């Protein structure tokens, strides 16, 4: 496939065609798994040239595919990174052992003691812990954004962050875990530009695109610097692997690749192979899951025991959130929260009454999963921070899968009868 072909294909096609050339593997239609930890050189001088190319980007081997040791990179990683970058519409991608390994690399690479960081809230509990529990030990000052569609609020929080130290990163997760709260990506990019113009240091904008995955939301096209995705979720799609990707301009991705070598958080060959395969079907799986989610959400919204749900498709017309969703999302996703009348006891009764839907954390798999956010994914987030992010004791997060929708609705109906 030529560069021109690549440029002309749509993301759904690139998810199948990009990253692997059968000519590199004796015509095998699907890629082999390169289960090796190290790579053999032709000669000592070639070994030196390969190291020069890897570490300096210069010399006779610069730009040529050559491997040293699998922690630095390996063929399955290259295939996956090429495909992910192509799908995301980015120059380069870096793939890590998990989504949190990817988030951690961004924080370590781009923040220095004394810096501040702005992040949307709610945000996945692990990311919340990274910025609010771990990073403060290294002298980083986190500041939350509580309304990601309100420019005045985001600017005020940026000023608060700047009063604590230079703003290094703006990290947004949209739609957010678990409530599907929305942040206006283009607005945040514009505010990062304003901060850069005012202070001489433009913070990098990181968007966690895990909830909508690469087809229903395109953060690179909206100007973010680092597009992060937990590949564990919709991209992996079968709840059987852990992986995380970051895509963006070569100049912001390449330092992360070098850092990954030091951290040892690369994605292993077999997992890369699995993700590469799963990416081929993520568009169709997501479409089916989103169609199911609409049906399940409609059933739940109309049920008397349900106080509310945070499904994107039901955000009221005329609200800022609706305008942002219409502008930046090509679908409503299939993960959202259900708020029951009552609290933990009612939520537990519903969860314990489910027979088809499994109780588990994670999301984006083929099967439907449910969990009680306050006591699972957001267990470690302090209660006030949880409430500020809209997570109550009655909040249950659902990740709707690709089963027959009638079976899912029947399961929820039966379980709600027990509440």
Task: Quote the least distance from Cβ 23 to ligand PLP, whole Å.
Answer: 33
Cβ atoms of 204 and 167 closer than 8 Å: no
**Residue 173 engages ligand PLP in binding (rule: CB under 6 A):** yes
210 binds ligand PLP (CB under 6 A): yes
Provide the CB-side half-sphere exposure for 161 (13 A, CA).
29
Residue 104 as a binder of ligand PLP (CB under 6 A): the answer is no
Nearest-approach distance from CB 71 to ligand PLP, in angstroms: 19
DSSP 27: T
**Calpha distance 414→250 (Å, rounded):** 51
> Which residue has the CB atom at the shortest distance from ligand PLP?
99
Among 88, 115, 147, 208, binds ligand PLP (CB under 6 A): 208
268 counts as binding ligand PLP under rule CB under 6 A: no
* Among residues 70, 76, 109, 232, the one that binds ligand PLP under rule CB under 6 A: 232
Residues touching ligand PLP, count (CB under 6 A): 15
Interface with ligand PLP includes 337 (CB under 6 A)?
Answer: no
Contact between 239 and ligand PLP by CB under 6 A: the answer reads no
DSSP class of residue 57 equals S
Reading the block at residue 397, the tokens are: 């997060």
Instruction: Single out the segment in contact with ligand PLP by CB under 6 A; choices: 33-41, 208-216, 272-280, 312-320.
Output: 208-216
Is the Cβ–Cβ distance between 361 and 376 less than 8 Å?
yes
Residues 329, 212 contacting (CB under 8 angstroms): yes
Q: In this structure, are residues 275 and 292 in contact, taking their beta carbons and an 8 Å threshold? A: no
Out of 70, 109, 132, 177, the only residue in the binding site for ligand PLP (CB under 6 A) is: 177
Instruction: Return all residues near 335 (Cβ < 8 A) that are at least 6 apart.
Output: 175, 177, 178, 180, 211, 293, 363, 364, 397, 398, 399, 400
Rg for the chain (alpha carbons), in Å? 22
Q: Find the part of the chain contacting ligand PLP (CB under 6 A) among 14-22, 97-105, 320-328, 339-347.
A: 97-105
Question: Is residue 99 helix, strand or coil?
Answer: helix
Binding of residue 20 to ligand PLP (CB under 6 A): no
For residue 244, state whether it binds ligand PLP (rule: CB under 6 A): yes
Distance, CA of 89 to CA of 390 (rounded, Å) = 33
Contact 214, 174 (CB under 8 A): no
In the bound state with ligand PLP, the residue whose beta carbon lies nearer, of 329 and 416, is 329
From 37-45, 121-129, 179-187, 284-292, span contacting ligand PLP (CB under 6 A): 121-129
């Amino acid at each position: 496939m030529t560069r021109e072909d690549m440029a002309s294909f749509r993301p759904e096609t690139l998810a199948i065609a990009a990253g692997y050339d059968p000519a590199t593997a004796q015509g095998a239609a699907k890629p082999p798994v390169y289960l090796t930890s190290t790579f053999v050189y032709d000669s000592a001088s070639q070994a030196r040239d390969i190291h020069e190319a890897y570490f300096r980007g210069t010399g006779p081997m610069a730009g040529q595919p050559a491997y040293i040791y699998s922690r630095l990179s390996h063929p399955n990683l290259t295939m996956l990174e090429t495909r992910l970058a192509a799908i995301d519409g980015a120059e380069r991608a870096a793939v890590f052992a998990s989504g949190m390994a990817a988030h951690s690399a961004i924080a370590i690479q781009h923040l220095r003691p004394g810096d501040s960081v702005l992040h949307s809230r709610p945000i996945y509990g692990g990311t919340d812990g990274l910025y609010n529990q771990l990073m403060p030990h290294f002298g980083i000052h986190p500041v939350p954004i509580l309304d990601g569609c309100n420019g005045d609020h985001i600017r005020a929080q940026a000023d608060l962050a700047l009063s604590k130290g230079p703003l290094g990163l703006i990290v947004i997760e949209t739609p957010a875990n678990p409530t599907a709260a929305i942040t206006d990506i283009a607005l945040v990019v514009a505010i990062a530009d304003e901060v850069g113009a005012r202070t001489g240091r433009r913070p990098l904008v990181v968007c966690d695109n895990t909830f909508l995955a690469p087809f229903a939301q395109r953060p690179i096209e909206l100007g973010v610097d680092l597009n992060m995705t937990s590949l564990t979720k919709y991209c992996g799609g079968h709840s059987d692997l852990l992986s995380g990707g970051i895509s963006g301009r070569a100049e912001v991705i390449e330092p992360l690749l070098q850092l990954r070598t030091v951290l040892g958080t690369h994605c292993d060959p077999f997992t890369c192979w699995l993700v590469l395969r799963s990416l081929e079907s993520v568009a169709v799986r997501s479409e089916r899951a989103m169609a199911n989610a609409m049906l399940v959400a409609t059933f739940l919204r109309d049920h008397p025991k349900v106080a509310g749900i945070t499904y994107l498709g039901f955000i009221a017309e005329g609200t800022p959130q609706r305008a942002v969703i219409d502008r930046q999302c090509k679908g409503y996703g299939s993960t959202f929260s259900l708020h029951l009348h009552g609290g933990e006891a009612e939520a537990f009764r519903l969860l314990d009454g489910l027979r088809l839907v499994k109780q588990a954390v994670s999301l984006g798999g083929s099967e439907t999963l449910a969990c009680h956010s306050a006591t699972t994914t957001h267990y470690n987030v302090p209660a006030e921070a949880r409430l500020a992010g809209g997570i109550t004791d009655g909040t249950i997060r659902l990740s709707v899968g690709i089963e027959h929708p009638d079976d899912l609705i029947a399961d929820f109906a039966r379980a709600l009868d027990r509440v």
